[in-house]
Amino acid sequence: MAESCDVCIVGAGLAGLNALFAASRHLAPDQRIILVDRRPRVGGMWVDTYPYVRLHQPHPMFTAGDIAWTLGRERSYLATKDEVLDHFQHCLNEIRKRVRVDEFYGCDMVGDAEADGRVRVSCRSADGQTLEIDAGKLVKAYGFRITPNDPLPLTTDRVHSVSPDHCDVRTGEIRDSDTPVWIIGGGKTAMDTAHAVIANCPGREVNLVAGRGTFFQCRDKFFPDGARRWWGGTLISRLGVEASRRFDGTNEEDVWRWHRDKYGTWLTPDTGNFLLGVLSEDECRTIAGGLRSVVMDYFVDATDSGDAVELAFRSGATTTVEPGAWIVNCTGYVTHRDDPYEPYLSAGGSVLSIQVRSATMHLSSYMGYFMTHMLMLDRLGDTPLYELDVQDLTQKSRTAFPYTLLTLAQYNLSLMADQLPAKVFAECGLDFDRWYPLPRRLAATARFMLTHRRHRERQRRALDAMRDRFDLRCGPLDRSGVDRTPIR
């Protein structure tokens, strides 16, 4: 098959839908966008993820552009997997009203090549059929490339090894069993799984192996309900500003403690991780109250030990469990990959790549939205946005990771604010500040516009310090053999 289009977008998740929304704002109704995804439908990671997943942020700001939800639930409602997928389909239908969109699902992109201002995109389906696409521009909306977790391989077969992506802990054999559940991991998936088991199986023995522990941003502090939206709570944009002002590229421990103590919630005695997750105080209390034990260690294996089974941990400690126990793999999805480096903008300027090896913002949804606008306006090549190798950073400093990302987002957003029309920001429904009434949002926007340029130099120095300390790829794209001097 051979197809031709004005824009090709690979990836139909949240990043891809925001790229699609942004691209549609620059095309005429008779122009064409081709959307490609290896999955059978729109939705990205939400197609594959575990069935009891809940959106941890209020649902209205989880969207493409400024497309409103049609769910009809209260603003604070945390949408389910099916509701999120339905909204993604709604977003696609709304974008189709503005521009022609053709979808090719079940296809993997296997290569792309630029020539004469066009991009040749090669795709292949699972049954071996090929698809060649000739596009004016290509957006690789890979995001974090989330893939389902497999069960952990164990030496013994006398316990059940499962993962949330292949086993709904609320139903079936695990629900009917009364043996203990051991949840391996301390992040969002582990919290969802613990909450699901505790809520659906009251009195069941549930244990958490939490590694270094994780703290989460407290949803109650950022998304207060009712009249408190007018006077209480902290705008998420304010957190970004505060964190980037405090972080100088060397003091992540201090910023970590300030952030955790002021805005965090957690249930483990120690908190060695923060990966931008959100949890409420009520969820935290429910999980903490239902856990039999919390092990601050890393799981290694389960082996036979006489009539029982022994769990071994990285520290050398062990514990005995009864045969038939359930080991649920809730370890992280984001940091287990080892993808090759790719710049966010190709040498020819026609390919935008949204992924963690050259991240420009803290969330892939924001990158899909803002970076695609920059691409369509031909502003990416001349704007020295900083790229950051997030994959490398998470391996070298988990503590510095969130504050480097927040500083990166502030710095690059400042540069883009000088390049993009005001309408782009007005149509960004991803903005968490939309939780708050318009007067509070306008005040925050006014502060940003008045001050963002004067903060750039400090933010740039912090990012450069991280680059030098950890030998990271962190700086402007080198597209001519010499790094460009950042705009200040």
Distances in whole angstroms, Cα of residue 485 to Cα of each of 390, 455, 482: 22, 17, 9
pLDDT at 486 over 50: no
pLDDT value of position 485: 35
Task: Name which of 124-133, 165-174, 253-262, 328-337 the model is least confident about.
Answer: 328-337
Q: Where residue 201 sits, what CATH number does that domain have?
A: 3.50.50.60
Residue 147 — pLDDT band, cuts 50, 70, 90?
confident
Judge if 136 and 175 occupy the same domain.
Answer: no
The answer to whether residue 476 is domain-embedded is no
Residue range 312-333: mean pLDDT, rounded: 94
Judge if 43 and 126 occupy the same domain.
Answer: yes
Whole-number average pLDDT of the chain: 94
Judge if 272 and 373 occupy the same domain.
Answer: no
Judge if 14 and 77 occupy the same domain.
Answer: yes
**Domain housing 126:** 2-147+336-383+419-435
Separation of alpha carbons 88 and 12, rounded Å = 9
pLDDT value of position 335: 53
Backbone angles phi, psi at 302, to 5 degrees: -125, 125
Judge if 112 and 21 occupy the same domain.
Answer: yes
pLDDT at 13 over 60: yes
Nearest to 95 by CA among 421, 372, 355, 364: 372
Separation of alpha carbons 487 and 379, rounded Å = 14
Residue range 245-273: mean pLDDT, rounded: 96
pLDDT at 484 over 70: no
pLDDT value of position 180: 96
| The residue count for the chain | 488
Separation of alpha carbons 350 and 156, rounded Å = 52
Q: Is the Cα dihedral 182, 183, 186, 191 positive or negative?
A: negative
Separation of alpha carbons 177 and 172, rounded Å = 9
pLDDT value of position 336: 61
> Of all residues in the chain, what percent carry a pLDDT higher than 70?
97
Judge if 293 and 365 occupy the same domain.
Answer: no
Judge if 54 and 191 occupy the same domain.
Answer: no
Judge if 283 and 360 occupy the same domain.
Answer: no
pLDDT value of position 483: 37
Return all residues near 104 (Cβ < 8 A) that are at least 6 apart. Answer: 3, 34, 35, 36, 37, 123, 131
Judge if 210 and 84 occupy the same domain.
Answer: no
pLDDT value of position 334: 61
Residue range 320-325: mean pLDDT, rounded: 95
Separation of alpha carbons 373 and 352, rounded Å = 11
The answer to whether residue 474 is domain-embedded is no
Separation of alpha carbons 390 and 213, rounded Å = 20
Residue 275 — pLDDT band, cuts 50, 70, 90?
confident
Do residues 479 and 345 make contact, with C-beta atoms less than 8 angstroms apart? Answer: yes
pLDDT at 482 over 70: no
Task: Name which of 238-247, 317-326, 329-338 the model is least confident about.
Answer: 329-338
Return all residues near 455 (Cβ < 8 A) that are at least 6 apart. Answer: 244, 245, 410, 414
pLDDT, one tens digit per residue, over 366-409 is 999 999 999 999 999 999 999 999 999 999 999 999 999 999 99
Q: Is the Cα dihedral 122, 124, 130, 134 positive or negative?
A: negative
Query: What is the pTM (predicted TM-score) of this model?
Result: 0.94
Nearest to 219 by CA among 188, 196, 245: 188
- Cα dihedral 451, 453, 456, 457, rounded to 10, equals -110
pLDDT, one tens digit per residue, over 421-474 is 999 999 999 999 999 999 999 999 999 999 999 999 999 999 999 999 999 999
Distances in whole angstroms, Cα of residue 34 to Cα of each of 13, 85, 133, 140: 14, 20, 9, 12
The count of structural domains within the chain is 2
pLDDT value of position 144: 85
